[in-house]
């Protein structure tokens, strides 16, 4: 029996859909290209033609070929494979006042993402083919970057009966998850693991034991004791991680553990991987950079599930990235409307937005102080869709252009010019961060262009024309500036 | 001081200034006409999202003795029951230009949130399980009356610490005034990490004798349903303060209302060691001082000024 046969890499791109966009042709000159997978870490010229990486040459070696090729001065800037996120809440259908496919994918593009996967805990939840089909259909009109849709493991996300997983998978479900909730019943979860042999699709897991979480609203520790807020113990997560790794091991199934927060969970994953369990896992930028001390002010933007934990937990996640226990960085971008978050902490819904700040937060707090290498951070920000057998963007000739151009020196204050997301519940709001995304190319098309980026065209010198009016036309009109 | 949101925000100087002024106001409460014009023309709004008789009436009495106008707004029978959010309620009430809002909420941080939405001075009358600063101030006031000073006194706080905002505020306030605090209760009702407040933790009453002051907390019946303790009978057997456990030199306190036969036996409630009614009495004068502090200016220099309490004859 080869349970992973159905985890088809070939058909992966069919599971990621976006609105039609004009393929980009551009030359990024003299840019510091960094791709940990293709082992490029040097100044280069990169030519993208009709959405595909056509040439990579030494800096100054390439000139724009005739035709509509936009030239972008990459001097002093970095070009990475664009980021991917296996864990995003687009709130569609049913909660479009928080986010929709257009605003969510716009937010992703602004954060340097070329592909994301949406969670199914919408209203209604994505537990049937018609709902999934409607989403895929809508994404072909509205999504600015390719988006995949996960489907529920259980019907109505109630944790009792499996969804029609084979049908959902063949229609295009990116993976299966009841994210927002754990699959509490071990017997039901075991059936899902068994059923994976038929339908494929990684099971992505929100790990939490509701009987241990209780009415908890933040990490259980000295800060929660001081604030008098009921705590969520670390073991609420780690015991379920251990249980599910054991079940996956027994059924030879493939699982992906979402948003790790506790050091005990990192240990459980590490031990499971050492035993050969087919498990991958993710950590979020906020869990990698913040702790429960940051919740002292009871700012509801810092209320999320799982909660921000202690320094030892944060450090274990960082070490997990270093030693390979933690496979990727995923944002768990979870938008909520302003009035939903403007309530007392214990009443507020869980979640922070994160797509637009992920790179800058991790770069500022972990790379600049020397805690993690830039190369490793880029690797982990581009690995998430590989964990569910979708896309791993690379900078190599012949690959579709999935690129992000970043100015590592640029400093900005989170939220000072608003957000592309419809919601503003960002836990990093007000923070001064370094590292600004200037341009995102997703599936070969320009998906985002920072307002201030200076454009240089092939037919002349520096263009002082406003952003959005470029020689290459088309795709840039999809940038946020076209909205204003 | 602009608001009174938590004991954590206060300095020892703040506490002493407020309590000194409370002592001055105490004399007013003993007059035939218990009123001074200190806050005449000011409006104090009581916004209570939880059932409360003694705290609300204590604040009301305090405001009235300072000649303020008082409006009581209880969550039941109001727009809150119609689904209005806290922010909308506060904005609506702020349109009436109250000078101070006294707020009790079942949620931690509610008072601090409200302070950001209105220009009124905010007094926290209890926010979830977080803090109840005026209770702590009146408890310190009572102990100063009873013992003179809290310096180096041993104070045991016994009972359901996890669900008690009184415990949290009092641990901070008692320690600030120089006392050593021990919290004691069932392990299921002592929150993990509470030592971070600086207090010692015990799970039985074995060393209760070392306490100068025993502060019993109210044991709420709903905790039984949540299986924090097996039964009230078991709780009483392990943690009840009774004549056997309380030594004659110890001072007994309780924030009220008392469950006789549960956390306290009837005999100790009625003993001269209990200062429970002193606490209630202190509540009014301390709250007068708090309202005065946030409304009539709490600059330290005021301590040197003549007492602002001229009797006002009707």
Q: In this predicted model, what pLDDT tens digit does every residue of A385-432 receive, in sequence order?
A: 999 999 999 999 999 999 999 999 999 999 999 999 999 999 999 999
Q: Which CATH class is domain B7-131+282-304?
A: alpha beta
Contact flag A220-B130 (C-beta cutoff 8 Å): no
Cα distance from A226 to chain B (closest Cα, Å)?
A: 7
Closest partner CB to B196 (pick from A226, A339, A343)? A226
Rounded to whole angstroms, the Cα distance separating A87 from A242 reads 21
> How far from the centroid of its chain's Cα atoms is residue B235's Cα?
24
Q: Is A228 on the interface with B (CB under 8 A)?
A: yes
Across A177-184, average pLDDT: 97
Q: Do A344 and B86 touch (CB under 8 A)?
A: yes
Q: What are A298-348's pLDDT values in tens digits?
A: 999 999 999 999 999 999 999 999 999 999 999 999 999 999 999 999 999
What is the Cα–Cα distance from B28 to B22, expressed in whole angstroms?
Answer: 10
Q: How close are the terminal C-alpha atoms of chain A, in Å?
A: 56
Give the Cα-Cα-Cα angle A169, A421, A355 (nearest 5 degrees). Answer: 65
Which of B71, B113, B67 lies closest to B88, judged by CA?
A: B113
Range A28-59 burial, b when 16+ CB lie within 10 A, else e: bbbbbbbbbbeebeeebbbbbbebbbbebeeb
* Contacts A233 to B, Cβ<8 Å: 192
- Cβ distance A345 to B129 less than 8 Å, yes or no, reads no
End-to-end CA distance of chain B: 31
Q: Please list every residue in chain B whose beta carbon sits closer than 8 Å to the beta carbon of residue A220.
A: 191-193
Q: In this prediction, what percent of chain A has a pLDDT beyond 90? A: 88
Task: List the domain boundaries for chain B.
Answer: 7-131+282-304, 133-278
Residue in chain B nearest A340 by alpha carbon = B85
Q: Which residues of A are catalytic?
A: 332
Interface of B with A (CB under 8 A): 8, 85-87, 105, 107-110, 112-113, 127-131, 165, 168, 191-197
B7-131+282-304 and B133-278, same CATH topology: yes
Which residues in A381-404 are b (16+ Cβ under 10 Å) and which e?
bbbbbbbbbbbbbbbeeebbbbbb
**Inter-chain CB proximity B168 and A228 less than 8 Å:** yes
B191 contacts in chain A (CB < 8 Å): 220, 224-225, 231
Which three-class secondary structure state does DSSP give residue B150?
Answer: coil
Residue contacts between A and B (CB atoms, under 8 Å): 74
pTM for the full predicted model: 0.91
CB contact under 8 A, A221 and B193: yes
What confidence tens digit (pLDDT) does each residue in B193-218 have? 999 999 999 999 999 999 999 999 99
Beta-strand pair A52-58/A40-49: antiparallel
Name the nearest CA neighbour of A288 among A311, A270, A271. Answer: A311
Query: According to CATH, what is the number of the domain B133-278?
Result: 3.40.50.1370
Residue in B closest to A214 by C-alpha: B226
Given B108, B168, B191, which is nearest A345 (Cβ)? B108
For residue A231, list chain B residues with Cβ-Cβ distance below 8 A.
191-193
Assign A345 to helix, strand or coil: helix
Opening angle at CA A238, ends A235 and A240, nearest 5 = 105
pLDDT of residue A68: 85
What gap in Å lies between CA A403 and CA A392, rounded to an integer?
12
The residue of chain A nearest to residue B8, with distances taken between CA atoms, is A226
What is the domain-level CATH number for residue A278? 3.20.20.140
Q: Do A346 and B131 touch (CB under 8 A)?
A: no
Q: Helices marked H in chain B — which ranges?
A: 12-29, 54-65, 86-94, 110-115, 133-147, 165-176, 222-225, 232-239, 266-269, 276-295
**Looking at beta carbons, which residues of chain B come within 8 Å of A223?**
193, 196
Task: Check A225 against B85: CB less than 8 A apart.
Answer: no
How close A343 comes to chain B (CA, Å)? 7
Cis omega (within 30 of 0) for bond into A306:
yes
Q: For B33-53, what is each residue's pLDDT tens digit?
A: 889 999 999 999 999 998 888
Q: Where in the sequence is the domain holding A127, given as residue range(s)?
A: 1-484
Facing A228 at nearest CB: one of B112, B128, B192: B128
Distance CA B286, CA B280 (A): 10
pLDDT at B312: 39
Asked if B197 and A220 come within 8 Å (Cβ–Cβ), the reply is no
Chain A: give the shortest CA distance to residue B106, in Å: 9
Substitution target in A214, A224, A225, A235 with the highest count of B β-carbons within 10 Å is A225
Backbone angles phi, psi at B214, to 5 degrees: -110, 120
Helix axes A234-250, A263-274, angle to 10 degrees: 10
Are A233 and B192 a contacting pair at CB < 8 A?
yes
Per-residue pLDDT of chain B (314 residues; tens, 9 = 90+): 899 999 999 999 999 999 999 999 998 888 888 899 999 999 999 999 988 888 999 999 999 999 999 999 877 656 666 788 999 999 999 999 999 999 999 999 999 999 999 999 999 999 999 999 999 999 999 999 999 999 999 999 999 999 999 999 999 999 999 999 999 999 999 999 999 999 999 999 999 999 999 999 999 776 666 789 998 999 999 999 999 999 999 999 999 999 999 999 999 999 999 999 999 999 999 999 999 999 997 544 333 334 434 443 33
Rounded Cα distance between B87 and B69, Å, is 23
User: Mind listing the pLDDT tens digit for each residue in A70-101?
Assistant: 999 999 999 999 999 999 999 999 999 999 99
* DSSP-based three-state secondary structure for A191: helix
CB B102 within 8 A of CB B3: no
User: How many of the other CB atoms lie within 10 Å of CB of A458?
Assistant: 18
Interchain contact, A344 vs B109, CB within 8 Å: yes
Tell me how close the Cα of A412 comes to any Cα of chain B, in angstroms: 26
Report yes or no: A285 at the B interface, CB cutoff 8 Å: no
Contact: A343, B86; criterion CB under 8 Å: yes
The predicted-structure confidence for B101-138, as pLDDT tens digits, reads as follows 999 999 999 999 999 999 999 999 999 999 999 999 99
Number of domains in chain A: 1
Mutate which of B165, B191, B222 to disrupt the A interface (most A C-beta within 10 Å)? B191
CB–CB contact B107 A228 (8 Å): no
Which residues does A190 contact at the CB level (< 8 Å), separation at least 6? A247, A250, A251
Angle (CA) B206 B208 B212, round 5°? 165
């Amino acid at each position: 029996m080869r349970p992973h046969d159905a985890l088809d890499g070939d058909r992966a791109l069919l599971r990621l859909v976006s609105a039609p966009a004009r393929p980009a042709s551009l030359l990024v000159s003299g840019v510091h290209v960094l791709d940990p997978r293709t082992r490029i870490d040097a100044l280069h010229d990169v030519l993208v033609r009709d959405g595909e990486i056509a040439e990579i040459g030494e800096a100054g070696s390439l000139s724009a070929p005739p035709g509509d090729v936009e030239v972008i001065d990459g001097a002093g800037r970095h070009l990475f494979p664009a980021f991917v996120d296996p864990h995003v809440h687009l709130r569609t259908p049913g909660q479009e006042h928080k986010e929709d496919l257009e605003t969510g994918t716009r937010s992703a593009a602004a954060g340097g993402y070329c592909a994301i996967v949406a969670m199914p805990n919408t209203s209604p939840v994505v537990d049937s083919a018609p709902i999934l089909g409607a989403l895929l259909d809508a994404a072909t009109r509205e999504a600015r970057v390719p988006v995949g849709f996960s489907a529920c493991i259980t019907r109505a996300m109630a944790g009792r009966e499996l969804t029609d997983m084979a049908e959902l998978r063949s229609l295009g479900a990116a993976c299966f998850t009841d994210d927002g909730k754990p699959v509490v019943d071990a017997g039901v979860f075991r059936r899902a693991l068994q059923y994976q042999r038929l339908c494929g699709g990684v099971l992505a897991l929100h790990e939490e034991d509701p009987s241990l979480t209780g009415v908890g609203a933040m990490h259980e520790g000295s800060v929660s004791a001081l604030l008098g807020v009921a705590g969520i113990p670390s073991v609420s997560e780690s015991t379920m991680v251990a249980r599910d790794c054991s079940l996956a091991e027994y059924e030879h199934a493939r699982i992906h553990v979402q948003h790790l927060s506790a050091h005990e969970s990192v240990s459980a994953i590490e031990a499971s991987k050492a035993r050969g369990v087919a498990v991958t896992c993710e950590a979020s930028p906020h869990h990698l950079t913040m702790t429960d001390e940051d919740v002292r002010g009871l700012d509801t933007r810092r209320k999320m599930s799982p909660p921000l934990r202690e320094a030892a937990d944060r450090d274990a996640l960082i070490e997990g990235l270093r030693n390979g226990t933690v496979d990727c960085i995923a944002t768990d971008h979870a938008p909520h409307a302003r009035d939903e978050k403007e309530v007392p902490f214990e009443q507020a819904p869980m979640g922070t937005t994160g797509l637009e700040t992920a790179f800058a937060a991790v770069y500022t707090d972990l790379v600049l102080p020397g805690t993690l290498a830039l190369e490793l951070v880029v690797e982990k920000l581009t690995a998430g869709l590989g964990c569910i057998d979708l896309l791993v963007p690379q900078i190599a000739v012949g690959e579709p252009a999935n690129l992000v151009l970043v100015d590592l020196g640029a400093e900005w204050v989170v939220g000072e010019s608003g957000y592309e997301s419809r919601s503003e519940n960002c836990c990093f709001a007000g923070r001064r961060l370094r590292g600004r995304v200037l341009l995102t190319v997703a599936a070969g098309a320009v998906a985002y262009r920072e307002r201030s980026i200076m454009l240089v065209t092939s037919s002349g010198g520096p263009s002082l024309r406003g952003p959005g009016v470029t020689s290459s036309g088309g795709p840039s009109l999809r940038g946020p500036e076209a909205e204003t | 001081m602009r608001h009174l949101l938590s004991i954590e925000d206060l300095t020892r100087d703040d506490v002493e200034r407020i309590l000194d002024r409370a002592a001055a106001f105490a004399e007013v409460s003993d007059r035939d006409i218990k009123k001074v014009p200190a806050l005449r023309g000011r409006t104090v709004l009581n916004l209570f999202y939880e059932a409360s008789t003694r705290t609300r009436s204590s604040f009301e009495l305090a405001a009235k003795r300072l000649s303020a106008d008082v409006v009581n707004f209880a969550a039941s029978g109001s727009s809150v029951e119609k689904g209005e959010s806290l922010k909308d309620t506060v904005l609506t009430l702020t349109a009436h230009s109250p000078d101070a809002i006294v707020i009790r909420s079942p949620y931690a941080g509610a008072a601090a949130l409200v302070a950001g939405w209105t220009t009124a001075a905010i007094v926290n009358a209890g926010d979830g399980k977080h803090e109840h600063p005026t209770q702590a101030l009146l408890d310190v006031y009572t102990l100063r009356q009873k013992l003179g000073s809290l310096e180096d006194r041993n104070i045991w706080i016994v009972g359901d610490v996890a669900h008690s905002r009184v415990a949290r505020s009092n641990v901070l306030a008692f320690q600030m005034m120089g006392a050593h605090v021990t919290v004691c209760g069932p392990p299921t009702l002592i929150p993990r990490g509470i030592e971070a407040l600086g207090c010692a933790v015990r799970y039985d009453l074995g060393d209760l004798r070392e306490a100068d002051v025993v502060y019993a907390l109210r044991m709420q019946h709903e905790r039984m349903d949540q299986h924090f303790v097996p039964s009230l009978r078991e709780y009483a057997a392990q943690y009840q303060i009774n004549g056997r456990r309380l030594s004659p030199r110890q001072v007994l306190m309780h924030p009220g209302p008392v469950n006789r036969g549960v956390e306290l036996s009837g005999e100790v409630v009625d003993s001269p060691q209990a200062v429970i009614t002193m606490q209630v009495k202190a509540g009014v004068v301390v709250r007068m001082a708090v309202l005065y502090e946030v409304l009539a200016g709490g600059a330290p220099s005021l301590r040197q000024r003549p007492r602002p309490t001229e009797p006002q004859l009707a």
